[in-house]
Amino acid sequence: MNEEKVNLKAPVYIPDSSYRDYRWMGDYETVYRESVENPEKFWEDIAGELEWDKKWDNVLEWDYPDARWFSGAKLNITANCLDRHVNNSRKNKVAIIWRGDDGCERVFTYRQLFREVMRFANGLKKLGIKKGDRICFYMPFVPEHIIAILACARIGAVHTIVYAGFGSDSLHQRIVDSEAKLVITADVSIRRGKRIDLKSIVDEAIVNAPSVERIIVYRRTKPEIELYAEMELDYYSLIKGESFHCDPEIMDAEDPLFILYTSGTTGVPKGILHTCGGYMVGTYYTSKYVFDIKDSDVYWCTADPGWITGHSYLVYGPLAVGATILFSETTPDYPDLGVWWEMVEDFGVTILYTAPTAIRMFMKYGESWPDKYNLESLRILGSVGEPLNPEAFEWFYRVIGKSKLPIVDTWWQTETGMHMITTIVGQPMKPGFAGKPIPGVVADIVDNEGNPVEPGKKGKLVIKAPWPSMMRDVWNNRERYEHYWNDIPGCYTVGDMAVKDKDGYIMIIGRSDDVIIVSGHNIGSAEVESALVDHKAVSESAVVGIPDDLKGNLIVAYVILKEGFTGGEKLENELKYHVRMTLGPISMPSDIRFVQSLPKTRSGKIMRRVLRAQEMGVDPGDLSTLED
Ligand code: WT7
Asked if residues 597 and 604 have their Cβ atoms less than 8 Å apart, the reply is: no
pLDDT digits (tens, 9 = 90+) for 395-435: 999 999 999 999 999 999 999 999 999 998 888 999 999 99
Residue 171 has pLDDT above 90, yes or no: yes
| Distance from the Cα of residue 11 to its chain's centroid | 29
Give 20's pLDDT tier (boundaries 50, 70, 90).
Answer: low
Residues 6 or more apart whose Cβ sits within 8 Å of residue 383: 353, 354, 355, 356, 359, 396, 407, 408, 409, 410
> What's residue 7's pLDDT?
76
Kindly give the distance from the C-alpha atom of residue 290 to the centroid of ligand 1, in angstroms, as a whole number.
16
Of all protein residues, whose CA lies closest to atom 13 belonging to ligand 1?
Answer: 386
> What's residue 522's pLDDT?
86
Asked if residues 333 and 293 have their Cβ atoms less than 8 Å apart, the reply is: no
ipTM, 2 dp? 0.99
> What's residue 5's pLDDT?
62
> What's residue 3's pLDDT?
45
- Ligand 1 in reach of 85 Cβ (< 6 A): no
pLDDT digits (tens, 9 = 90+) for 26-38: 788 999 999 999 9
* Cα dihedral 590, 596, 598, 602 in deg (nearest 10): 170
Give 625's pLDDT tier (boundaries 50, 70, 90).
Answer: low
> What's residue 23's pLDDT?
58
Report the C-alpha gap between 410 and 417 in whole angstroms: 12
Segment 541-563 shows an average pLDDT of 93
- Ligand 1 in reach of 498 Cβ (< 6 A): no
Residue 244 has pLDDT above 80, yes or no: yes
Pocket test for ligand 1, best of 258, 413, 519 (most atoms within 8 A of CB): 413
> What's residue 615's pLDDT?
87
- Ligand 1 in reach of 554 Cβ (< 6 A): no
> What's residue 61's pLDDT?
98
- Ligand 1 in reach of 410 Cβ (< 6 A): yes
Segment 258-282 shows an average pLDDT of 92
pLDDT digits (tens, 9 = 90+) for 467-513: 999 999 999 999 999 999 999 989 999 999 999 999 999 999 888 88
- Is pLDDT larger for residue 279 or for residue 628? 279
Give 1's pLDDT tier (boundaries 50, 70, 90).
Answer: very low
Residue 289 has pLDDT above 50, yes or no: yes
Pocket test for ligand 1, best of 522, 523, 551, 553 (most atoms within 8 A of CB): 522
Of all protein residues, whose CA lies closest to atom 14 belonging to ligand 1?
Answer: 413
Give 617's pLDDT tier (boundaries 50, 70, 90).
Answer: confident
Atom of ligand 1 at shortest distance to CA of 522?
21
> What's residue 266's pLDDT?
73
Give 73's pLDDT tier (boundaries 50, 70, 90).
Answer: very high
> What's residue 246's pLDDT?
98
Q: How many CB atoms lie within 10 A of CB 130?
A: 13
Of all protein residues, whose CA lies closest to atom 1 belonging to ligand 1?
Answer: 413
pLDDT digits (tens, 9 = 90+) for 290-321: 999 999 999 999 999 999 999 999 999 999 99
Distances, alpha carbon 275 to alpha carbons 76, 114, 272, in Å: 11, 22, 10
Asked if residues 2 and 458 have their Cβ atoms less than 8 Å apart, the reply is: yes
Pairing of the two strands 74-75 and 436-437: unpaired
- Ligand 1 in reach of 511 Cβ (< 6 A): yes
Kindly give the distance from the C-alpha atom of residue 414 to the centroid of ligand 1, in angstroms, as a whole number.
8
Phi/psi of residue 183, each to 5°? -120, 130
Of all protein residues, whose CA lies closest to atom 27 belonging to ligand 1?
Answer: 413
Q: Which helix (H) or strand (E) holds 174?
A: helix 168-178
Residue 187 has pLDDT above 80, yes or no: yes
Kindly give the distance from the C-alpha atom of residue 404 to the centroid of ligand 1, in angstroms, as a whole number.
25
Give 4's pLDDT tier (boundaries 50, 70, 90).
Answer: low
Q: What domains are there in the chain, each with its CATH number?
A: 78-249 (3.40.50.980), 519-616 (3.30.300.30)
Distances, alpha carbon 84 to alpha carbons 46, 78, 88, 91, 288, in Å: 16, 9, 6, 9, 16
Averaged pLDDT score across all residues of the chain:
93
Query: Which string of DSSP letters, residue by residue, matches 388-427?
Result: --HHHHHHIIIIITTTTS-EEEEB--TTT-S--EE--TTS
- Ligand 1 in reach of 232 Cβ (< 6 A): no
HSE (CB half, 13 Å, CA atoms) of 249? 25
Instruction: Give the rounded percent of residues in the chain with a pLDDT score beyond 70.
Output: 97
> What's residue 480's pLDDT?
95
